[in-house]
Structure 1
Amino acid sequence: MSYHPENELLKRYATGEIDSGHGVAVASHIDSCSHCRKIVADFEEEAAEELVAAGSEGTLTGSDLEIVFDNMLEDIMTLDEDFSEPKSRKPALVKVNGKSFRVPSALTPLVERMGEWRSYGGKVFTSSIDLNEDCRVSLLYISQGVQVPQHTHKGFESTLVLHGRFSDEKGTYSQGDFIREDSRTKHSPQTPPDQDCLCLSILTEPMIFTQGVARIFNRFGKGMYP
C-alpha cells in the first residue's frame, strides 16, 4: 500500500466532519493501514484534549461535558486495545460481470444502497450509490486490459482500490490505495492485460474528457459522471 489519504482528510474523519462517502472510504482504508490508523488515533486524542481544555476554560457547560464524555467513553469501550491490529469484521460481497468480490465491511451500508450496474461496452461497469449528498459516489469496475479516455476534474475525484490494480501517468495503484485528484490532473487510468480492478469512486463534480471522441460527453452538463 503506497497511497494514503491526506492528513486533512484523516483529521476530518477523526473529528466527524467528513461526508458519508469519504467517511466509509477512509474507514475502509485504515482497516488495513496501521500507519493511517495511528494518525487518526492521534487526531482523536488531540480533539479530546481540546474538549477538556474548553471545559476547564468554562466555554462548555456541565451538561455539555457530560454528554461529550459519555460519548467518548462509549467509543473507548468499543475500541480494540491495539489500534495497529485491524478489527475482525465480516466483509460485504459485490457481484459484477459474472464475478464476486469481497470488500471491507465498512462498505456494507453503501453496498446495500447500490443501484443497477451500467455497462460501457462490456468493459467498464458502474453502480451509483445514493447517499443524498452533493458528491457522486459509485462502485467502478474496469475489466482487464482497458484504458479509460484521458480526463480531468472540475472538483475532486477520490478513489479507493478495492480489488486488483490500475495505473495512470503518475503511478500504479493497488488494493487499499487511496488516491485523490483535482483539476490539476490529466490522466488516463488503465488496467494491465492480466488484471481487472474494482474501485470506490467519489466525485464532487463531473469529470471532463480532454482527448478524443469522448469529449462529446462534455456537452452534456459540461462534463460526465461515470
Structure 2
Amino acid sequence: MINFHPNQLQLIDFVEGNSAPAMALMISAHKDMCPKCRGRIELLESSIGEGIFEVEAERIDFGTMLSDITKLPAAEQITFDQASRGQPLVESIELDGRQFKLPRTLRRFIAKTGNFSHLLGNLWQAPVDLGPIGKANFIYMQKGGRVPEHTHRGTELTLVINGEFSDGMSDYDTGDFILMGGENTHAPYSEASEGCLVFSIVDAPLHFTSGIARLLNPFSHLFFNTK
C-alpha cells in the first residue's frame, strides 16, 4: 500500500511545469505507480487549465484562429505498428536473473543504466545517467541489506520500485515517494524476503554519521555515484 506521496504544493509545481527536473522526474514516476496521485494531478490539470482558458479566451479572435487552423497541412498519421517498429519495448531491469518492471517514466533510462555492482553486505547499486538532470542509482537491498546511517548535504529523492524497507523513521512500500534533506538522519534497511529495489536521486554526497561508515565520507561521492 502506497502511504507516502508528494505534497499538494509539489504537485501544483509539477502541473504548472515549475518543478526542478529531478523532482519532476520522480513525481512522474510515482504517478505511474499511484492511482491516488494520478487523480490529484488530473484534477489540478483540469482546474489550472480551466483558469488559463478563461483568461486567454478573452484575448482570442476565434475567427482568425479557425482560419489559421484550416491553412495548416494535414498532420502525419503515425500508426501503432510504425511507432513500435524497431527494438522491442524494454520494461524491466535485471539483477541475478530477477526482473524488476519499472514505471513507464523510468523505462527510457534503461539503456542508460549501468550494471549492478556489489557495494557492501547485501547491498547492490546500478548507476543511471540522467543526462542534464544528473546521475541517479537503482539500489537493491537484499534481505538484511542496510545502507549505513547518514544525513544529506543536499536532497535525496527516493521511489520504492519493488519491495519494502524501513529506515528508523518510517516503513516504506512499493510506490512510496520519499524526500529527505539535511534535517533527516536515517539508515535504510530491508528485512523483506524479496528484498527491496529503490530508485534514488541525490544532488550532493551523503554524509555518514555513525561508526566506521564515517570513514567513507571523503569518498561518499564515489560510493553512490553522485558526481
User: Shorter-chain TM-score category?
Assistant: 0.7 to 0.9
Partner of 1:78: none
Structure 2 CA distance for aligned equivalents of residues 191 and 123 of structure 1 = 10
Deviations 1:75-100 (A, max 9, x none): xxxxxxxxxxxxxxx87111013322
Q: Does 1:202 align with 2:201?
A: yes
The answer as to whether partners of 1:209 and 1:223 remain within 8 angstroms in 2 is no
SS in 2 for 1:179: strand
The answer as to whether partners of 1:134 and 1:204 remain within 8 angstroms in 2 is no
Cα distance, 1:132 vs. partner? 2.2
Cα RMSD after superposing both structures? 2.7
| Aligned 1:23-42 pairs, distance under 5 A | 23-42=24-43
Structure 2 CA distance for aligned equivalents of residues 62 and 122 of structure 1 = 66
Cα distance, 1:119 vs. partner? 1.5
Structure 1 CA distance for aligned equivalents of residues 186 and 11 of structure 2 = 25
| Aligned 1:8-157 pairs, distance under 5 A | 8-56=9-57, 92-121=91-120, 123-133=122-132, 135-157=134-156
Deviations 1:176-212 (A, max 9, x none): 1111111111001111062311011011221110011
Aligned residues: 200
| Matched-pair identity in % | 28
Cα distance, 1:219 vs. partner? 1.9
The answer as to whether partners of 1:145 and 1:195 remain within 8 angstroms in 2 is no
SS in 2 for 1:159: strand
Structure 2 CA distance for aligned equivalents of residues 33 and 117 of structure 1 = 27
Structure 2 CA distance for aligned equivalents of residues 2 and 193 of structure 1 = 17
The answer as to whether partners of 2:165 and 2:192 remain within 8 angstroms in 1 is no
Deviations 1:108-164 (A, max 9, x none): 112121123222136211122112235432211111112211000111111111111
Cα distance, 1:166 vs. partner? 0.4
Cα distance, 1:57 vs. partner? 6.2
Structure 2 CA distance for aligned equivalents of residues 222 and 91 of structure 1 = 30
Cα distance, 1:51 vs. partner? 2.3
Partner of 2:182: 183
Q: Does 1:212 align with 2:205?
A: no
Structure 2 CA distance for aligned equivalents of residues 6 and 28 of structure 1 = 15
The answer as to whether partners of 1:156 and 1:180 remain within 8 angstroms in 2 is yes
Which structure has the larger Rg over C-alpha atoms? 2
TM-score (norm 2): 0.76
1:224/1:4 Cα in 2 relative to 1: closer, same or farther (>3 Å)? same
Deviations 1:39-97 (A, max 9, x none): 21122123313422442565xx779xx7xxx9xxxxxxxxxxxxxxxxxxx87111013
Structure 2 CA distance for aligned equivalents of residues 101 and 32 of structure 1 = 14
The answer as to whether partners of 2:154 and 2:204 remain within 8 angstroms in 1 is yes
Any gaps of 5 or more consecutive residues in structure 1? 71-89
Instruction: State the one-letter code of the partner of 1:185.
Output: N
SS in 2 for 1:163: strand
1:8/1:39 Cα in 2 relative to 1: closer, same or farther (>3 Å)? same
The answer to which of 153-162 and 27-36 deviates more is 27-36
Cα distance, 1:222 vs. partner? 7.7
1:53/1:223 Cα in 2 relative to 1: closer, same or farther (>3 Å)? farther
The answer as to whether partners of 1:165 and 1:197 remain within 8 angstroms in 2 is yes
Structure with greater proportional helix content: 2
1:221/1:32 Cα in 2 relative to 1: closer, same or farther (>3 Å)? closer
The answer as to whether partners of 1:168 and 1:189 remain within 8 angstroms in 2 is yes
The answer as to whether partners of 2:204 and 2:221 remain within 8 angstroms in 1 is no
Instruction: State the one-letter code of the partner of 2:94.
Output: K
TM-score (norm 1): 0.77
Partner of 2:169: 170
